[in-house]
Chain A
């Protein structure tokens, strides 16, 4: 079994209105060193071992559903969970 962490964020070229609002809010709290915030999504997937390569499955589900490639990028971390 695999535990997979998927991070989906808006592409650099796409303006993130939520991130911009949070950046502005942090600066109004005097955190002037914070110059940018990008807001994204974090997902945890549990994937059973199968005859398919787990990374191939993860990429496929990200491309097909979890992220929209028109505006979003994703990255992931795959951990093999040891059965208890």
Chain B
């Protein structure tokens, strides 16, 4: 399986994402610059964390209009897995691929520490390797991760099982403890915690690895004919 790590000016978790895929997962991966006009050769799209365009105006607001995002939208519509982590999640929200918006953390502080998450939905292509309701530890690092959507949207998220991860101890004021959501089709996941920073016990935990393994497993089952 071949992944693209999209790099915007100001991305800073792109190298971690690349490392997670190449060295820990053992799959193909390439950096893809934000002005790329074709993503056809990639099977999965990864939007890494960071501060794209300096977080000017709003987090993700400028990146959302970069050339490559039209291609990301195309890939999402085609059913390819699209994962946005942290700033990547914020970009997916701004682009309308996922519902809702981010507010500043309730404490107004940038929070960088491990968090306990609950896998609320383990039937997505991003979470199938986890157990139902499994508790996992994944670090967060953000100033604007306070998820918000209106009541109607929240009802829809719940009805369609789109909430994938919730915080056990809400660090940022996020609505309903939401840490990660998928789109209705289930192939676009946005999450504030950083699974790519939790792929090796040496880094304090490897609970993030199963997320990437889930993606690959689903892709293999759909695309590789068993010999």
Contact = CB atoms under 8 A, between A and B. Distances in A.
A21 interface: yes
Interface residues of B, number: 20
B104 A18 contact: yes
A53 to B, nearest CB: 23
Interface residues of A, number: 12
Given A17-B173, A70-B149, A71-B148, A65 B57 contact: yes
A17 B146 contact: yes
A66 B58 CA distance: 9
A17 B148 contact: no
Binding site of B, secondary structure by majority: helix, strand, loop or mixed?
Answer: loop
A32 B30 CA distance: 57
A21 B104 CA distance: 12
Contact of A18 (B57, B65, B101, B108): B108
A45 interface: no
B94 A17 contact: no
Interface string B147-181: 01110000000000000000000000100000000
B65 A17 contact: no
Interface in A29-43: none
Contacts of B61: 65, 68
B106 A68 contact: no
Interface of B: 57-58, 61, 65, 93-94, 99-101, 103-108, 146, 148-150, 173
Q: Please name the 10 residue pairs, one residue from A and one from B, whose CB atoms are nearest each other, closest first.
A: A70-B101, A71-B101, A17-B106, A17-B104, A68-B101, A17-B108, A68-B58, A71-B148, A21-B108, A14-B148
